[in-house]
Amino acid sequence: MELHAEIQEVEKKAYDKRLKLDEKYDLETQEKEIAVCQRKTLTRGLFYYRRNKIIETIPCFWLTAFLGHYALGVLLSEEDQKIFRTTEDAEYWHTITFNFAENPYFGNESLTKKLVYTDEGVEICGCTINWKDGLVATSGNQHGKRGYAADGDTSFFAMFFERDDALKGVYDEVAKVIIDDLWPNATKYYVNGNFTDEEEVAIEEDCQYLLSCCEDRRI
């Protein structure tokens, strides 16, 4: 009986020691991962800062990159492209931000799409566009109230940045495409880089899907 108690005591001490070593290892691993993540974040931040400084010297960079993207370019009307020409630069840090020069379309110096992380997941929040004279750009040659022209089409800017529950799902996906693809690969889309045949097929399918979603939600 006494021997059994001694064995249990030894096993308990060994277990406690192993548990402490595991906790120490996990803590050290977490600290290393955090340090690596912080270094990567700093490096990316410096890279994007320098890239933005170069982009600022290139006329219509973000319009060209947007139009060069296989899925995003098809979402811009001629009127949207005119607005995009006034874009001075773009930023992303949990918020998509497009900064604009003074223009005849709206009074905002910047338009934002913010990612809010909650227990339920990621909520994407838009902003209010202060359209001049209460009008917003449409896909036609004229302007209409709340972004709707005579043919019923709506400006990309009104749908993407302002709250539109009917199109929320589609334009939340557009936000993810901007964050995950356009933003890190902006220079590639600016020059409209080459793709393999397999990539072109996949790209065409994605493009058709996005277009069909937008058309379905507009009906």
pLDDT digits (tens, 9 = 90+) for 118-155: 667 667 788 888 888 756 554 443 444 344 333 445 67
- Our measurement of the distance from residue 93's CA atom to the centroid of its chain's CA atoms, rounded to an integer in Å, reads 9
Q: Which fold has domain 59-218?
A: Arylsulfatase, C-terminal domain (3.30.1120)
Q: Can you give the three-state secondary structure of 109-154, one letter per residue?
A: CEEEEEEEEECCEEEEECCCCCEHHHEEECCCCCEEECCECCCCCE
Judge if pTM exceeds 0.85. no
What tens digit of pLDDT does each residue of 59-68 get?
888 888 898 8
Count Cα atoms within 13 angstroms, Cβ side, for 185.
15
Band the pLDDT of 37: cuts 50, 70, 90: low
- Domains in the chain: boundaries: 1-55, 59-218
Backbone torsions φ then ψ of 103, nearest 5 degrees: -145, 165
CA dihedral 201, 202, 206, 209 (to 10 degrees): 60
Three-state DSSP at 107 gives: coil
Task: Write out the two tokens for 104.
Answer: 């005849």
* Cα–Cα dist 65/84, whole Å: 11
Task: Write out the two tokens for 120.
Answer: 């339920």
How buried is residue 106: exposed, middle or buried, by Cβ count under 10 Å (0-12/13-18/19+)?
Answer: buried
Q: What is the pLDDT of residue 144?
A: 40
- Our measurement of the distance from residue 47's CA atom to the centroid of its chain's CA atoms, rounded to an integer in Å, reads 17
* Cα–Cα dist 145/138, whole Å: 9
Per-chain mean pLDDT for the chain: 72
DSSP per-residue codes, 32-99? HHHHHHHHHHHHHHHHHHHHHHHHTTSTTHHHHHHHHSTTTGGG--HHHHHHHTTEEEEEESSEEEEE
Three-state DSSP at 164 gives: coil
